[in-house]
Amino acid sequence: MKQILQNLGNGETILADVPCPRRGSGSVLIQTTRTLVSLGTEKMLIDFGKGSLIAKARSQPDKVKQVIQKIKTDGLWTTLDAVKAKLGTPIPLGYCNVGKVVEADTASGYAVGDRIVSNGPHAEMVAVPQNLTAKIPPAVTDEQAAFVVVAAIGLQGVRLIQPTLGERIVVSGLGLIGLLTVQMLRAHGCQVLGIDFDKKKLELARQFGAETVDLSEGQDPVKVAEAWTNGVGVDGVLITASTKSDELVHQAATMCRQRGRIVLVGVIGLNLQRADFYEKELSFQVSCSYGPGRYDANYEKMGLDYPIGFVRWTEQRNFEAVLGLMAEGKLIIDPLITHRFNFDDALAGYQAVSEKGAMGIVLEYADENADTTKQQRVLKTGKTSVGKTSNQPAVAFIGAGGFTTRMLLPLLPKQAIRKTIVSSTGVSASHAGQKFGFENVSSDSSAAMADPEIDAVFITTPHNSHAAMVCEALEAGKHVFVEKPLAMNHEELEQVAESMQRHPEQILMVGFNRRFSPHSVEIKKWLASNPGPKSIVLTINAGAIPADHWTQDLKIGGGRIIGEGCHFIDLARFFADSPIVSHHAVPMCGSDGRLGDTVSIQLGFADGSIATIHYLANGSKDFPKERIEIFSGGKVLTCDNFRKSIEIGGKGKKKTSSQNKGHADELKAFIDAIGSGDQWPIPADELLEVSRVTIDVAASVHKTLASFS
């Protein structure tokens, strides 16, 4: 199928061939019939992409600070590589989609063929979570329904300003959202004053029942508003404009009455003046997209609706309300449409984004059979491999996210034949497949597992899918490389262990890359002169991750000890070179420790060695992220952030390099082991041991946190 993508690095807008997305549980698969180009959001992304690196930096000063911090801790070249990879990954454009249901869960209430609106992108097929969809009434055309999502943005602003019958409300900025907002306010029984420079938009606002202020004629909005309200001041102002200036909010405050309301829907400068708000006790609120539920993963991705008795208007219910207005003829769409393009000519449509007077740009999709090539989940890239020997395993990657494309694929040994790469939407797989030379790109992991030509599978998906995919791959006769963690609980780990026992000929590798770092290998060599017990201290300045990040979700990411702490339990096991016989975890409780990601872990080993792992999320980014200290035989061995290692107290050995956490060496070890049939890069008992201890430690942490609260 075809989809529109935007490259933020070079500004190129692409009509790309990508696999049909895979519909997950709770989602709806839709064959698109119409989409609407957003002049605001999409033009902003296009302009950002076309800007120079300096322009990009100026537009995002907070991101620049993060880059500078990363340079300090990880080094210049590592940071530049991360920035280039981030900017070079195309992103989908669009969020106003109309189409017909192709697949849906039985409980969704949708039947195949139903017309629905969603916030899906510009693509021939889209998979959208159920709570971000709404059924279209018969009286509403597909073209009209394409405006539902942008109208819902305006509607949420209207709800926040809480208009009542007869109130006088100003709409500042008469773009697409502004003109839709004018109509919705009129439907509420409000008097409306619209402000803009564009005469055509002002004329439309008057057609929809608003009074207007023509800024191109030099009219003063404040004086007009004062006359309009007989000197009382307006009840509220909805700002739907986009400008870097903060004049609009000052203007809005000046024209408001005592205790008036201002709601920001657009994007403007926000250097607020206290006096503007203090003297009149004005309220100011920023509206969040389509309404309650936006950016809440439980609502949008997990499908958990808010009870209507407590949250009357959610994203989905706002969609439905807009559709109801359209069906009743109270929201007029046709005059807002300035351009129509066939989807195959969509790139020409993006040229129209910059045209003066452009507003509603509708993309029309060919009405073809949904069971044709649009639903293909495996696409050929045109790249083919030549020859194959036992030392050249064919590999598939399940997962094509940032870690995969930045840390693994660039370092994958050349002898590995790149067969198939998979992602759920197909977009990231399509980009990575072309960039790294895969023969197939896909959204179907089961097809890759079943492909007899594939020898090994790399699993880099969200943590909760790891164990099941490992078992599936082993049962399919594949060697497996899985990013940590191997499993999220003992039941999953037991299932993996049973699959390993049934298929001892298949190599299983977990992405514990740090034990393969040249620094770790060198330190272990230095330790060889003293085979006695060691005291190991690992200090991990992990940094804070928000509570709503997927890795913090215990059901999806397992929490940071499961997801990342396992790295350092494995590293301590590597240095001690002895089985773990005891473990104890002490989490910091409350405040910065409430998420269970600020923990001190003590390990005891069979040879008498001890290890303390300080995994800390409450430190400064100015401090190095990872530090190793090993006390042994009168010497202290240190490693700072896998850039510099020093022996203190012996011969003073040193090792320095650019940051190297071992990813290249772990990949080489895995591919070499497949080709040679040698022993596993990490012994099976160590993989299971480290995973078991990690699961126990995480359980102990959360038990302590629960008792504290």
| Dist CA 691 CA 281 (whole Å) | 58
Side-by-side strand order, sheet with 256-264: 211-214, 191-196, 168-172, 234-239, 256-264, 283-286
Residues 554-607 have pLDDT tens digits of 999 999 999 999 999 999 999 999 999 999 999 999 988 999 999 999 999 999
What's the whole-number mean pLDDT along residues 462-483?
97
What's the whole-number mean pLDDT along residues 103-113?
92
Instruction: Clarify whether residues 560 and 703 are in a common domain.
Output: yes
Q: Which residues contact 162 (CB under 8 A, 6 or more apart)?
A: 261
Instruction: Clarify whether residues 122 and 187 are in a common domain.
Output: no
Residues 430-441 have pLDDT tens digits of 999 999 999 999
- Say if residue 371's pLDDT is above 60: no
Instruction: Clarify whether residues 31 and 164 are in a common domain.
Output: no
Task: Quote the percentage of the chain above a pLDDT of 70.
Answer: 92
H-run or E-run covering 208: none
Mark which of 252, 270, 286 sits at the end of a domain.
286
Instruction: Clarify whether residues 561 and 702 are in a common domain.
Output: yes
Residue 302 domain-assigned (yes or no): no
Residue 424 domain-assigned (yes or no): yes
Yes or no: say if 74 and 659 are a contact pair by the CB < 8 Å rule.
yes
- Token reading at 185: 């306010």
The reported pLDDT for the residue numbered 385 is 64
Which residues lie across from 169 on neighbouring strands?
A: 192, 236
Q: Is the peptide bond before 485 cis (omega within 30 degrees of 0)?
A: yes
H-run or E-run covering 160: helix 148-161
pLDDT: which is higher, 270 or 252: 252
| Dist CA 28 CA 127 (whole Å) | 5
Over 111-172, what HEC string results? Answer: CCCCEEEECCCCECEEEEEHHHEEECCCCCCHHHHCCHHHHHHHHHHHHHHCCCCCCEEEEE
649-652 long-range CB contacts below 8 Å, 24 or more apart?
650/526, 650/529
The reported pLDDT for the residue numbered 382 is 75
Place 645 in a pLDDT band, splitting at 50, 70 and 90: very high
Over 280-298, what HEC string results? Answer: CCCEEEECCCCCCCCCCHH
What's the whole-number mean pLDDT along residues 687-694?
98
Q: What is the dihedral of CA 399, 401, 405, 409, to 10 degrees?
A: -20
Instruction: Clarify whether residues 468 and 528 are in a common domain.
Output: no
Which residues lie across from 172 on neighbouring strands?
A: 195, 239
| Dist CA 621 CA 695 (whole Å) | 28
Describe the chain by its helix, strand, coil percentages, rounded to 5: 40, 25, 35
pTM (2 d.p.): 0.87
Yes or no: say if 410 and 434 are a contact pair by the CB < 8 Å rule.
no
Burial bucket for residue 72 (CB in 10 Å: 0-12, 13-18, 19+):
middle
- Say if residue 83's pLDDT is above 80: no
What's the whole-number mean pLDDT along residues 33-56?
72
- Say if residue 11's pLDDT is above 80: no
The reported pLDDT for the residue numbered 353 is 77
* Helix spans in 4-138 (H): 41-50, 53-59, 61-74, 76-88
What's the whole-number mean pLDDT along residues 86-90?
71
- Say if residue 355's pLDDT is above 90: no
Q: Give the range with max mean pLDDT: 6-10, 92-96, 267-271, 321-325.
A: 321-325
Residue 292 domain-assigned (yes or no): no
Place 82 in a pLDDT band, splitting at 50, 70 and 90: low
- Say if residue 684's pLDDT is above 70: yes
- Token reading at 308: 């209507």
Instruction: Clarify whether residues 587 and 620 are in a common domain.
Output: yes
What's the whole-number mean pLDDT along residues 669-685?
91
- Say if residue 649's pLDDT is above 80: yes
Place 624 in a pLDDT band, splitting at 50, 70 and 90: confident
Residues 251-262 have pLDDT tens digits of 999 999 999 999
Mark which of 480, 511, 542 sits at the end of a domain.
511
Which residues lie across from 13 on neighbouring strands?
A: 6
The reported pLDDT for the residue numbered 373 is 56
The reported pLDDT for the residue numbered 49 is 63
In single-letter form, the type of residue at position 275 comes to A
DSSP summary character for residue 565: I
Q: Which domain holds residue 520?
A: 514-708
DSSP secondary structure letters along 375-434: G-SEEE-S-------TTS-EEEEE--SHHIIIIIGGGS-TTSEEEEEE-SSSHHHHHHHH
The domain that holds 391 is classified in CATH as 3.40.50.720
Place 621 in a pLDDT band, splitting at 50, 70 and 90: confident
- Say if residue 153's pLDDT is above 60: yes
Residue 296 domain-assigned (yes or no): no
What's the whole-number mean pLDDT along residues 310-322?
97
Residue 313 domain-assigned (yes or no): no
What's the whole-number mean pLDDT along residues 388-394?
77
What's the whole-number mean pLDDT along residues 179-196?
97
Place 9 in a pLDDT band, splitting at 50, 70 and 90: confident
H-run or E-run covering 106: none
Phi, psi at 100, each rounded to 5°? -110, 140
Instruction: Clarify whether residues 192 and 240 are in a common domain.
Output: yes
Residue 139 domain-assigned (yes or no): yes
Mean pLDDT in the chain? 91
Handedness of CA 191, 195, 201, 203 (dihedral sign): positive
The count of domains in the chain is: 4
Mark which of 495, 511, 527 sits at the end of a domain.
511
Instruction: Clarify whether residues 98 and 247 are in a common domain.
Output: no
| Dist CA 135 CA 118 (whole Å) | 9
- Say if residue 372's pLDDT is above 60: no
The reported pLDDT for the residue numbered 77 is 56
HSE toward the beta carbon, residue 337, CA cutoff 13 A: 17
Instruction: Clarify whether residues 487 and 611 are in a common domain.
Output: no
- Helices 490-502 and 684-708 pack at an angle, to 10 degrees, of 170
Place 169 in a pLDDT band, splitting at 50, 70 and 90: very high
Q: Which residues contact 434 (CB under 8 A, 6 or more apart)?
A: 381, 441
- Say if residue 354's pLDDT is above 70: yes
| Dist CA 324 CA 138 (whole Å) | 11
What's the whole-number mean pLDDT along residues 144-159?
97
Instruction: Clarify whether residues 56 and 19 are in a common domain.
Output: yes
Residues 522-552 have pLDDT tens digits of 999 999 988 899 999 999 999 999 998 999 9
Residue 410: left (phi > 0), alpha (psi -120 to 50), or beta?
A: alpha
The reported pLDDT for the residue numbered 39 is 78
Residue 306 domain-assigned (yes or no): no
The reported pLDDT for the residue numbered 357 is 80
- Say if residue 55's pLDDT is above 70: no
Instruction: Clarify whether residues 474 and 391 are in a common domain.
Output: yes
Residue recorded with tokens 């126990």: 696
Residue 230 Cα distances to 253, 254, 696, angstroms: 17, 15, 71
The domain that holds 661 is classified in CATH as 3.30.360.10
Residue 320 domain-assigned (yes or no): no
What's the whole-number mean pLDDT along residues 234-261?
94
The domain that holds 127 is classified in CATH as 3.90.180.10
Supply angle C-alpha 19, 22, 27, rounded to 5.
Answer: 140
Instruction: Clarify whether residues 41 and 138 are in a common domain.
Output: yes
Question: Among candidates 612, 631, 614, which has minimal Cα distance to 526?
Answer: 631
- Say if residue 50's pLDDT is above 70: no
